[in-house]
Amino acid sequence: MDAKRTHGVISAGDRLTAAAGAEMLHQGGSAVDAAVAAAFASFICESGVVHLGGSGIAQVYHPDHGGMVYDFFSSMPGLGGPEKLSFLDFQKTTIDFGSTTQDFYLGRGSVAVPGNIAGLCQIAADFGRLSLKQILQPAIRYAREGVNLGPLQVGVCELLRPLYTHTSEMAAIFQRGQRMIQPQDTFLIPYLAETLERLAEEGSEIARTGWLAQAIVHDQAAHGGLLTPTDLQTYTVNKSRPIELRYRDHTVLLPGACSAGGVLTAFSLLLLEEFPVGQWPYSSVMHLRLLYEVMAATGRARPQWDAWHDSLPLDQAIAAFLDEGFVEPYRREVREALSRPYRRPQPEKESRNNTSHLSVIDADGWVVSLTTTAGESAGYVVPGTGYIANNMLGEEDLHPQGFHVRPPGERIPTMMTPTIVLKDGQVRLVLGSGGSIRIRSAILQVLINLLDYDLPLEEAVNQARVHLENGVLQGEFGVDAAALNQLEAMGYPINRWGSRSIYFGGAHSVSRTPDGHLVAAGDSRRGGATEEV
């Protein structure tokens, strides 16, 4: 690839998502235009995992502007509404993941305040070159003509069958007779093209005070939901500067606002900084053992982050959690653990929410790292709109203190961690991942693979990964079997996976190599696709 003739590269969760972004780059748009166009397109061609009625976090960077984090994640609903409803549409469904099952909640009472439309339109307004009408054209075309869902999306739809057949309107979209949609079927969401066309003409106010907002809240009021007109009218896209820290000779930019994942990833990097990771053979016992102990130490520190997050202003909470005086005792624990028998860490809760990520970089220095989610969807479509709502209030991992206990208007914390890495003031890497609590382990390993082991981006993204959950090291197929056996003999609980899996995230990434070339790598676990313009 000739960097001088390359206008930009994009990596995303589906070939049509990536193609939508590339279309903007072809038209002279920036990475910002490409990212927003791709995100809107993903709500059609990645409908197994993301929807228009969801929310997200993005990080935008340019050398002249620095980094900016856009927090458009969901907030708790209920502002201006009754203290208690006579009926709350909040229904449990159980999903079978094979080796385990997990309960989710859907219905109107599972819907949090959405942020996708407000956030994506704000990013485009702040830094885009093209009009919103131009940016939305690929999504409008996909919505009007229909698409063929990829194997990953079809598989997720089958897995989440109870949610995607919960109402007759949802079943009509995701089912063909008695079977779920297949790759050869044309996928269409009725009325969505018209909704996107009105968004292109009228702007994001349609989802704040306009006809779409009215349709959403009317449906909520009629069917036991909590979302109110005040929730939509007062929702804000929060903008802040990223956490900035040094790792080796690089600068890593991570989200702090709303993102527990960003703060926890920063903590893990501070633990890793003093260990000679790249000097140990890749996937060796020492490499894997260090990953285990760093993940375990971060898990033990997390309750303190949660406490500070709830009791201190955000800047003070971040500063306290990443302060050397707080980090060093955990770093000492890692050192001691590597020199003595294994000690069982404090476990983390299991989680499986659906998320999609995309990364873009252009030749003018603009980069975007953007992650969105809708949970698993609330199992219904707002009539006459094609708008599929989120079920962020039905995700147990987002509400460890119980459902519906946070006050209305409060932002819900997330593990989303769109990340940017700089070297000597130039962008080196743009990445993020889907996968809930596996987001940070995926990002951590891609960072190590690229920055410590100097692997090419494609290998850095697609190497087999590990993840620590409930004290057990999950070893994806491809992790060195002999090293896992040795770890197990040392007392480390190991679970060996017989295949690669979406469980381990989807770190779709782009990079500028040291010689200035722009490259992209899609994560094959989650249908990764790339485009070069």
Q: How confident is the model at residue 351 (pLDDT cuts 50, 70, 90)?
A: very low
Range of the domain at 499: 242-352+417-532
Torsion over CA of 275, 279, 283 and 286, rounded to 10 degrees? -50
Nearest alpha carbon to residue 74 among 311, 398, 317: 398
pLDDT in tens, 419-430: 999 999 899 999
Q: What share of the chain is helix, strand, coil (3-state, %, to 5)?
A: 40, 20, 35
- Quote the mean pLDDT of the chain: 93
- Domain contains 457: yes
pLDDT at 353 exceeding the cut of 70: no
| Residues 6+ positions from 454 with CB-CB distance below 8 Å | 278
How big is the chain by its Cα radius of gyration, in Å? 22
Q: CA–CA separation, 171 vs 444, rounded Å? A: 38
Across-strand partners of 252? 245, 421
Choose between 526 and 228: higher pLDDT: 228
- Domain contains 288: yes
Crossing angle of helices 324-338/285-311, nearest 10°?
A: 150
pLDDT for 24 equals 98
Q: What predicted TM-score, i.e. pTM, was given to this entire model?
A: 0.94
pLDDT for 376 equals 87
Q: CA–CA separation, 64 vs 427, rounded Å? A: 12
Task: Confirm if 509 and 489 have CB atoms less than 8 A apart.
Answer: no
Report CA 455 to chain centroid distance, whole Å. Answer: 24
Q: What percent of the chain has pLDDT over 90?
A: 82
Residue 334's CATH number: 3.60.20.40
pLDDT for 515 equals 86
pLDDT for 4 equals 46
pLDDT for 469 equals 87
- Domain contains 464: yes
Q: Rounded to whole angstroms, what are the CA distances from 138 to 38, 151, 173, 185, 287?
A: 8, 21, 20, 20, 44
Q: What angle do CA 168, 170, 173 make, to 5 degrees?
A: 110
pLDDT for 97 equals 65
Q: How confident is the model at residue 355 (pLDDT cuts 50, 70, 90)?
A: confident
- Domain contains 54: no
**Residues 372, 378, 380, 385, CA torsion sign:** negative
- Domain contains 19: no
Count: domains in the chain: 1
Per-residue b or e along 1-12, where b marks 16 or more CB atoms closer than 10 Å to that residue's CB: eeeeebbbbbbb
pLDDT at 345 exceeding the cut of 80: no
Q: CA–CA separation, 297 vs 275, rounded Å? A: 14
Q: Cβ–Cβ contacts within 10 Å for residue 153, how many?
A: 25
H helices then E strands: how many in the chain?
Answer: 18, 22
Catalytic residues: 355
- Domain contains 508: yes
Q: Cβ–Cβ contacts within 10 Å for residue 57, how many?
A: 29
pLDDT for 21 equals 98
Q: CA–CA separation, 434 vs 417, rounded Å? A: 9
Q: What angle do CA 64, 68, 71 make, to 5 degrees?
A: 165
- Domain contains 496: yes
Element (H, E) at 325: helix 324-338
* Least trusted range by pLDDT, from 99-103, 171-175, 500-504, 528-532: 99-103
- Domain contains 280: yes
- Give the tokens for residue 306: 């949660």
Choose between 145 and 4: higher pLDDT: 145
